Amino acid sequence: MGQVEFVALMASIQALMSMSIDIMLPALGHISGDLGVSDPNQRQLVVGVFLTCAGIGSLFPGALADRFGRRRVVLCAAVGYVFVTLVCAVAGSFELLLVARGAAGMLAAAFMVMPMTILRDRYEGDLMARTQSLVATTFMVVPMIAPIVGQAIMLIAGWRWIFGVTCAMGVVVLIWCALRLPETLAPQNRQAIRPRAIVGNMGLALKERSAIGYFLGAALVQAGMFGYLNSAEQLVGEALGAGSLFPVLFGLMAMLMAGSNFINARIVVAFGARRVSHMALLVFVVIGLVHLAVSASGHEGLWTFVPLMSLSMCMMSFIGSNFQAISLQPFARIAGAAASVMSFVRMVLGSLLGAMIGQAFDGTAVPIMAAMSVMGTVALLCVLYSERGRLFRRINPPEYYRQHQPPAQGPHPGGAG
> Domain range for residue 173?
3-182+192-404
Q: What is the pLDDT of residue 23?
A: 84
Q: What is the pLDDT of residue 407?
A: 45
Residue 96 belongs to a domain: yes
Q: What is the pLDDT of residue 380?
A: 96
Q: Per residue in 300-310, pLDDT tens?
A: 888 899 999 99
- 8 Å CB contact between 255 and 140: yes
Lowest mean pLDDT segment, chosen from 92-96, 214-218, 243-247, 412-416: 412-416
Q: What is the pLDDT of residue 139?
A: 67
Give yes or no for residue 31 having a pLDDT over 90.
Answer: no
H helices of 235-272, in order, are 246-271
Provide the pLDDT confidence category of residue 387 given band limits of 50, 70 and 90.
very high
Give yes or no for residue 89 having a pLDDT over 80.
Answer: yes
Nearest partner of 72 among 203, 219, 181, 204, judged by Cα: 181
Give yes or no for residue 13 having a pLDDT over 70.
Answer: yes
Residue 178 belongs to a domain: yes
Provide the pLDDT confidence category of residue 80 given band limits of 50, 70 and 90.
very high
Mean pLDDT of 234-247: 83
Q: What is the pLDDT of residue 416?
A: 29
CA-to-CA separations, 32 to 42, 98, 227, in angstroms, rounded: 8, 11, 19
| Separation of alpha carbons 185 and 70, rounded Å | 7
pTM above 0.95, yes or no: no
Q: Per residue in 108-123, pLDDT tens?
A: 999 988 988 898 888 8
Q: What is the pLDDT of residue 97?
A: 93
Residue 416 belongs to a domain: no
Give yes or no for residue 409 having a pLDDT over 70.
Answer: no
Eight-class DSSP state of 406: P
- Mean pLDDT, the chain, whole residue set: 83
Residue 358 belongs to a domain: yes
Q: Per residue in 309-330, pLDDT tens?
A: 999 989 998 998 888 888 878 7
Q: What is the pLDDT of residue 48?
A: 81
Residue 187 belongs to a domain: no
Provide the pLDDT confidence category of residue 373 given band limits of 50, 70 and 90.
very high
Residue 412 belongs to a domain: no
Give yes or no for residue 140 having a pLDDT over 80.
Answer: no
Q: Which residues contact 63 (CB under 8 A, 6 or more apart)?
A: 191, 193, 198, 201, 202, 336, 337, 340
Q: How many domains does the structure of the chain reveal?
A: 1
Q: What is the pLDDT of residue 364?
A: 86
- Check which CATH number belongs to the domain holding 374 and give it: 1.20.1250.20
| Separation of alpha carbons 243 and 239, rounded Å | 9
Query: 393: exposed, middle or buried (C-beta count within 10 Å: 0-12, 13-18, 19+)?
Result: exposed
Mean pLDDT of 34-40: 79
| Separation of alpha carbons 93 and 396, rounded Å | 54
Give yes or no for residue 334 having a pLDDT over 80.
Answer: no
123 SS3 class: coil
Give yes or no for residue 410 having a pLDDT over 60.
Answer: no
Q: What are phi and psi of 389, to 5 degrees?
A: 85, 5
| Separation of alpha carbons 77 and 107, rounded Å | 5
What's the first-to-final CA gap in the chain, in angstroms?
25
Q: Per residue in 178-212, pLDDT tens?
A: 999 988 888 877 776 667 766 776 777 778 888 88
Residue 288 belongs to a domain: yes
Q: Which residues contact 374 (CB under 8 A, 6 or more apart)?
A: none
Residue 409 belongs to a domain: no
Query: How many residues are given for the chain?
Result: 417
Q: Per residue in 262-305, pLDDT tens?
A: 888 888 888 888 999 999 999 999 999 999 999 999 888 888 99
149 SS3 class: helix
Give yes or no for residue 107 having a pLDDT over 80.
Answer: yes
Nearest partner of 406 among 120, 121, 215, 204, judged by Cα: 204
